[in-house]
Amino acid sequence: MTAATWSERYAASLMNTFGPPKLTLVRGEGAHVWDSDGKEYVDLLGGIAVNTLGHAHPALVAAVTEQVSTLTHVSNFFTTPQQVELAERLLAVTAVDGADGRVFFCNSGAEANEGALKLTRLTGRTHVVAMEDAFHGRTMGALALTSKAAYRAPFEPLPGHVTWVPFSDTEALAAAVTDETAAVVIEPLQGEAGVNVAPSDFLVAAREITKRHGALLWLDEVQSGMGRTGSWLASHPSGVVPDIVTLAKGLGGGLPIGALIGFGRAATLFEPGNHGTTFGGNPLSCAAALAVLATIEEEGLLARAAVVGERLRAALREDPRVLEVRGVGVLVGLTLARDVAPAVVAAAQEAGWIINATGPDRIRLAPPLVVTDSDVDSFLALWPALLDDAMAADS
């Protein structure tokens, strides 16, 4: 069946929340995918930082196949070895300075952030300070923290008392946080805004400011966590011990799973009846996440992410039509000299590459951690021609 036919069936049967699909994909292997017409693409978006191990990684396939053949779902009245083992592994790789923590499993980043927002209410306070250009999800609570007015306006009034401050502005943050503030929420890398990086000294200052006022420090690592930046968490190099970390996307390598991790007093704020989920922490998704964590370690993918990311950024900087390159590890953002990012994405797709525009002049790359040197070489060789095509069309 052709891509055009699939698009027609899509339009007739699915709600129009995303617009027409760019492709109908049917198969993947490593960082490569194939569409319904048989055309091959190199996936440098990775399902928006989800496909940590690429597509059809043998370790993930084996783990999911074994688990689905034994036990898939049991509800939250029970636990499974996979759920307990994953919670223990996450605490082992995310805790800073041995901080004591507890995990709540859910199904997505928005759910993790929704749970975190509820958790902050148990401090007895309601005020939250968030960052300008932040994106925390589309559910009502997570949307209340998302700064883009166009996303929020159709659904207002939204819950909460939220103050936005400029990203990485320590003085503005200090002025906004008071003794009535429940939490400060920060993405160490703002992915949807085009990969803006929070300096370590800003995270350190945020920790000091929140402690001074008895507020929680909440780090949203939904997009930046799980090895994408070359560390398990993007915040790890700062040495900051947060109260809350939210994770999803790359955690399950493609299977839906999110995690809310509380450290210190935040680990024990939830009590029975405060929060819940039907599918969260199911053995299938937990088995997938355990396979992702194990493979990252076994294949040295933390170091690999750091090396590949630096190579991409260094090469992309060389073209004068690129004004700025940002990011850490294999989460890369760049700003173009002209508002041609959508045209660059279209030219890349035509040439067999999947990348993403996060604004008129901004491009985002989030390839799988297993992307090969050959794929990186080929993309960098093609990059000038993609800019040529886009800017010629714009002239």
Residue 259 parent element (H or E): strand 258-263
Interior CA angle at 137 toward 135 and 139, to 5°? 145
Backbone conformation region of residue 299, classed left if phi is above 0, alpha if psi is from -120 to 50, else beta: alpha
CA 289 to chain CA centroid, nearest Å = 15
| Secondary structure of residue 361 in the 3-state scheme | coil
Q: Is the pTM of this model over 0.95?
A: yes
Q: List the catalytic residues.
A: 135, 220, 249
Q: Name the fold adopted by 3-57+299-394.
A: Aspartate Aminotransferase, domain 1 (3.90.1150)
Token readout for 28 is 């993947």
User: What gap in Å lies between CA 46 and CA 365, rounded to an integer?
Assistant: 8
Nearest to 49 by CA among 356, 382, 361, 379: 356
Residue 353 parent element (H or E): strand 353-354
> DSSP per residue over 105-122, as a string?
EESSHHHHHHHHHHHHHT
> Quick one: CA dihedral 161, 150, 233, 175, positive or negative?
negative
Domain limits, the chain? 3-57+299-394, 62-298
The letter for the amino acid at 12 is A
Tens of pLDDT, residue by residue, the chain (395 residues)? 788 899 999 999 999 999 999 999 999 999 999 999 999 999 999 999 999 999 999 999 999 999 999 999 999 999 999 999 999 999 999 999 999 999 999 999 999 999 999 999 999 999 999 999 999 999 999 999 999 999 999 999 998 899 999 999 999 999 999 999 999 999 999 999 999 999 999 999 999 999 999 999 999 999 999 999 999 999 999 999 999 999 999 999 999 999 999 999 999 999 999 999 999 999 999 999 999 999 999 999 999 999 999 999 999 999 999 999 999 999 999 999 999 999 999 999 999 999 999 999 999 999 999 999 999 999 999 999 999 999 887 77
> CATH says 62-298 is which class?
alpha beta
Cis ω for the linkage preceding 157 (within 30 of 0): yes
How are beta strands 216-220 and 244-247 bridged, if at all? parallel
